[in-house]
Amino acid sequence: MASSELRTFRAPTMAQALAEVKKALGGDAVILHTRSHKVGGVMGVGAKQLVEITASSPKGSAGGLQVRVPARAARSAVGGAAGGTVGGAGAKVEARPARVAAGVSQASGAATVREQAAEPVGTRATATLERPGGRVVDRLAVRTPLSPESTKDRIILEDELASIKKLVGQVLQCSRQTAAHVSHASRPGASSASASAVLALGPMSEPLFANYMRLCDAGVPAELAEEIASDVRGALTPSQIGDAAVVRNAVLTRLASMMPVVGSMETAAPEDGRPLTIALVGPTGVGKTTTLAKLAALYKLRYGKQVGLITSDTYRIAAVDQLRTYAQIIDVPLSVVMTPEEMTEACRGMRGCDVVLIDTAGRSQHDATRLDELRSFLEVCVPHQTHLALAVTAADSVMYRAADRFGAMSPDRILLTKLDEAVNFGAVAGLCRRTELPVSFVTLGQEVPDQIELAKSEKLARTVLDGEVVA
């Protein structure tokens, strides 16, 4: 059999199917696909379960491989053959207590298996095969020791168990990749190409597969997790792909490259002569007002800039009072506007400041009218930076939808809030890929002026992979 040839094995149970794989292809067989289905019956009644495994042998022909069957498997084979075919067509074996088999004759020329007294279970079981007329032509013997009789036998048994463990591991790996494929294919808008790529990924080394599943469990979109695993496998040598530390670093590097960041806090005066104008937009409840106060404190206290605040959030109860309290604490001016015309006047009144921070009202991504109103405010203030604030605690579908709808505001960067409250962080990678925008800041709590920091790709990657915020 050529190395590229595939063979399919079917059996009532997974254990029996694996035994057939091993018998035919050897311990180095590669499991490519598994499935379980029912056959027979009438309208589903009386159907029997059948396990099907598709495998191939990397060594080419497996016909010459000698496979030793462990003791437990041998006893199962003897006991489980009752009523089944052993050898050629028509030769059958019936199980009896403390016996091996009862002879069953066939048409002329057929062989008969004669019953022999068996030794106690766990030692030796024998049967003789006779032609009609009583002539003995062969003798079958199955030795099933309860424990290895020598060091050599023990080593052989351990090798066989390790081989079975490897086969089972490949089955589980294939099953989990199939589950990831089905999960991705069921998502709205999932492409058939990216969905089938999950199955096309094929067997991976244990360290790579472990990191791949960690990415999936963290909520990284299936197509991105597959892309990372594929790139890492292609970049590493065969010796490196088995090193857990090397694989982890490669995965982190590839993941970090998918999450670009701004990298610095801009403080220089713009070329147009206006104050550096920064606007925050986003859905309701993501923490824009608190984040704006943190940014004001950073520019005022750390960089010594003259800061001015403008808010158009007159819809939320006590929103203005909240921001006014922050403005008084850090001693910066605050203007409240209700129309685009008032926004124009407020910006003109802040000409003496170095930095102007604009807080906007939170809007539902489903409310097209309110989003158009928000865009009218931004058009008159013409911000140099527009941060799209999104809470990592939201479901990935909610984040993606908000990013799509707020794209009409022309944001040029993403600001991630509430990392301290999130359960997993994989959606961040999908968000960056979807929007193609860098991440500016991340917030880790509500304390002002602390718990805000510049985003770093390496820290974001470790946060995603490890499932916790990296200090």
Q: Are 290 and 348 part of one and the same domain?
A: yes
Q: Are 327 and 433 part of one and the same domain?
A: yes
User: Is the pTM for the entire model greater than 0.85?
Assistant: no
Question: What confidence tens digit (pLDDT) does each residue in 105-142 have?
Answer: 333 334 444 444 444 444 444 444 444 455 544 444 44
Q: Are 223 and 118 part of one and the same domain?
A: no
| Band of residue 153 on the pLDDT scale cut at 50, 70, 90 | confident
Q: Which two tokens stand for residue 469?
A: 């915020």
Q: With respect to residue 241, please indicate whether it lies within any of the assigned structural domains.
A: yes
| Band of residue 55 on the pLDDT scale cut at 50, 70, 90 | confident
Which range of residues forms the domain containing residue 170?
Answer: 160-257
Q: Which two tokens stand for residue 405?
A: 């709808």
Q: Are 282 and 253 part of one and the same domain?
A: no
Angle at 127 between CA 125 and CA 129, to 5 degrees: 160
Q: Which residues contact 385 (CB under 8 A, 6 or more apart)?
A: 266, 276, 277, 278, 279, 412, 413, 440
Q: With respect to residue 62, please indicate whether it lies within any of the assigned structural domains.
A: no
Q: Are 317 and 187 part of one and the same domain?
A: no
Question: What confidence tens digit (pLDDT) does each residue in 358-400 have?
Answer: 999 877 777 788 888 889 999 999 999 999 999 999 988 899 9
User: How crowded is residue 60: how many other Cβ atoms within 10 Å of its Cβ?
Assistant: 12
Q: Which two tokens stand for residue 451?
A: 């718990």
Count the domains in the chain: 4
Q: With respect to residue 406, please indicate whether it lies within any of the assigned structural domains.
A: yes
Chain-centroid distance of CA 396 in Å reads 14
Q: Are 222 and 182 part of one and the same domain?
A: yes
Q: Are 280 and 253 part of one and the same domain?
A: no
Q: Are 372 and 344 part of one and the same domain?
A: yes
**Residue carrying the six token digits 């990372």:** 228
Q: Are 443 and 346 part of one and the same domain?
A: yes
Q: With respect to residue 149, please indicate whether it lies within any of the assigned structural domains.
A: no
Give the per-residue pLDDT at 2.
Answer: 44
Q: With respect to residue 271, please indicate whether it lies within any of the assigned structural domains.
A: no
End-to-end CA distance of the chain: 55
Q: Are 341 and 409 part of one and the same domain?
A: yes
Q: With respect to residue 236, please indicate whether it lies within any of the assigned structural domains.
A: yes
CB of 142 closer than 8 Å to CB of 154: no
Strand partners for 307: 355
Q: With respect to residue 97, please indicate whether it lies within any of the assigned structural domains.
A: yes
Give the per-residue pLDDT at 126.
Answer: 43
Q: How far apart are CA 63 and CA 349, in angstroms?
A: 88
**Residue carrying the six token digits 């009896």:** 96
Nearest to 10 by CA among 58, 49, 60, 65: 49
Give the per-residue pLDDT at 19.
Answer: 87
Q: Are 384 and 439 part of one and the same domain?
A: yes
Q: Are 244 and 281 part of one and the same domain?
A: no
Domain end, chosen from 207, 222, 257, is at 257
Q: With respect to residue 296, please indicate whether it lies within any of the assigned structural domains.
A: yes
